[in-house]
Amino acid sequence: MLELISYYVNLLIIQYHNKPNAKATIEALVTSLIASGIYTDVRDGYDLDTAVGTQLDVLGKYEDIDRFYQGQDFSGNFGLLLYDEVDAPPSDREGFTTYADFETKEGAWLNYIKLVSDDFILPDEDFRQLIKLRIIQNNSNHSHKEIDDAVYEFFEATLIPDSGGNMVMNYFITEEVTEFAFIAFQKEALPRPAAVKLNYFIEIDPPWFGFTTYSEDEAHEYTSGFTTYADYDTKEGNTLRYLQLLEV
């Protein structure tokens, strides 16, 4: 801000350069106009990549989406433990108290609210990604290419849309975004053309066995063909299984 104030003070015509009152007047006017940078704080506070908390909630309203979703919470509830789990209980189960911890042991009964709850709230980073998906959905021309390009810009290879041309769109997802992808589906934020059904997610654990076409110079990054004599003991790949099709 000081540099900006100095810039305007230095614009005084030469006969006022040595007049303290003239300089002070310009400094006061400019300081009042820029309001100590409040206008830039407001502008930058609603930058999608840096906004947090309530600011993100406001941006979500512009895209008609919020951070609340339905989910299930099975962690921290009472449950019987195996003999070899007593000393280190799993994080999602709590057993009986002992004489040493009966006043401090945490735990609760699993109830209906925890089975189907509307109280789950996305943290800022996940909500930011959800808003980006909705921006794509609200602003793209819904061609396959534009959806591909826009999703890749935000998510790279962790979330890949694909369509076989039969009015159904699938999403290939990596393990680390599985939960987020289901929430995005629940919130109807995954980009797809109008009237196109979103069928299922396919969890990526590449490469999979598959054939390439004659025109492909190199195999697709997620496709692996037969081995050869030279790489039969080193070539990576696996067969796509039903368990990797996460139907929705």
Q: Which amino acid is it at 30?
A: V
Q: Within a domain: residue 205?
A: no
Q: Give percent of the chain above pLDDT 90.
A: 9
Dihedral angle at the C-alpha atoms of 43, 48, 49, 53, nearest 10 degrees?
A: 90
User: What is the spatial distance between Cα 224 and Cα 212, in angstroms, rounded to a whole number?
Assistant: 8
21 compared with 101, residue with greater pLDDT: 21
Q: What is the reported pLDDT for 29?
A: 80
* Beta bridge partners of residue 202, listed in sequence order: 172, 245
- In the numeric block, which tokens belong to residue 82? 């195996």
Residue 26's pLDDT band, with cuts at 50, 70 and 90, is confident
> Does residue 178 lie in a domain region?
no
**Could you tell me which residue, 77 or 129, shows the higher pLDDT?**
129
**Is residue 219 scored above 60 in pLDDT?**
no
Residue ranges in 35-123 assigned as alpha helix (H): 38-45, 53-62, 112-115
Determine, yes or no, domain membership for 99: yes
Across 31-39, average pLDDT? 72
Among 73, 75, 86, 114, smallest CA distance to 96 is for: 86
CA distance 180 to 231: 37
Angle between helices 53-62 and 124-139 (to 10 degrees): 20
Question: To which H or E segment does residue 130 belong?
Answer: helix 124-139
Q: Which residue range(s) make up the domain with 38?
A: 2-43
Q: Which residue has the higher pLDDT, 185 or 4?
A: 185
In a domain, 120, yes or no: no
Asked if the structure places residue 152 within a domain, the reply is: no
Is 78 among the domain residues?
A: yes
Q: What is the pLDDT of residue 60?
A: 93
Instruction: Assess if residue 9 is contained within a domain.
Output: yes
| Domain count for the chain | 2
pLDDT tens for residues 81-90?
788 887 777 7
pLDDT digits (tens, 9 = 90+) for 39-61: 777 778 888 988 999 999 999 99
Q: How far apart, in whole angstroms, are the C-alpha atoms of residue 102 and residue 14? A: 82
Over residues 197-213, the mean pLDDT reads 76
Among 95, 115, 135, identify where a domain stops.
115
Highest mean pLDDT among 108-112, 133-137, 153-157, 160-164: 133-137
E-assigned strand segments in the chain? 68-71, 77-78, 93-94, 117-121, 159-163, 168-173, 197-203, 208-209, 223-224, 245-247
Share of the chain above pLDDT 70, in %: 83
Query: Considering only 119-123, 195-199, 238-242, which range has the smallest mean pLDDT?
Result: 238-242
